[in-house]
Amino acid sequence: MSIKTTDLCDEFGAGAKVLLPIFQDLGGRADFQGRAVTVKCFEDNSRIKELSTTAGEGKVLVVDGGGSDRCALFGDHIAEDLVRNGWAGVLVYGYVRDKAVLRTFPIAIKALGVTPAKSTKRNEGQVGLSVTIAGQVISEGDQLFADDDGVLVLKAVVTEGAQ
């Protein structure tokens, strides 16, 4: 990634919304940048699985799992789909599994942590909603940036004006 979060903070000031530093790097990369695709789900990864099989070029999957530590919202199979379909990265307000395998994939996966328990599949969850994660509101289409220094959001209006 060529754009550093520190440089974006310097350039945009208060317009760069920095997420609280609560995420672990669990993929083979620490950096991503792309447009947010949001999914809100609680202990059900049905919508995540669906989205992982769609084209993800230039997109970051933002998962609001409510911070639940009772199950993982995805593991190696979904991560493999995300890589195959060109997703730039994943931000999970929740837990994932298959940590050792996730580290081998060339994608940034930032989550609260890991747990071996799998999620349920009840075909629940909503795509495209604004979600509040780590102290910031993230809306569909917002631009997300992440690296070793953290994760930040530039609202879609700010990034459109900057281009």
Tokens of 144: 């997300």
Q: What is the CATH number of the domain that holds 88?
A: 3.50.30.40
Residue numbers of the domain that contains 23 = 5-141+148-162
pLDDT at 163: 42
pLDDT at 126: 97
Count: domains in the chain: 1
User: Are 48 and 87 a contacting pair, CB within 8 Å?
Assistant: no
pLDDT at 156: 79
**Alpha-carbon gap, residue 41 to 93, rounded angstroms:** 10
b/e per residue 65-92 (b: at least 16 CB within 10 A): beebeebbbbbbebbbbbbeeebbbbbb
**C-alpha distances in angstroms, 126 versus 35, 45, 60, 89, 145?**
17, 11, 16, 19, 23
Q: What is the pTM of this model?
A: 0.93
pLDDT at 38: 98
Pick out the chain residues at pLDDT < 50: 1, 159-163
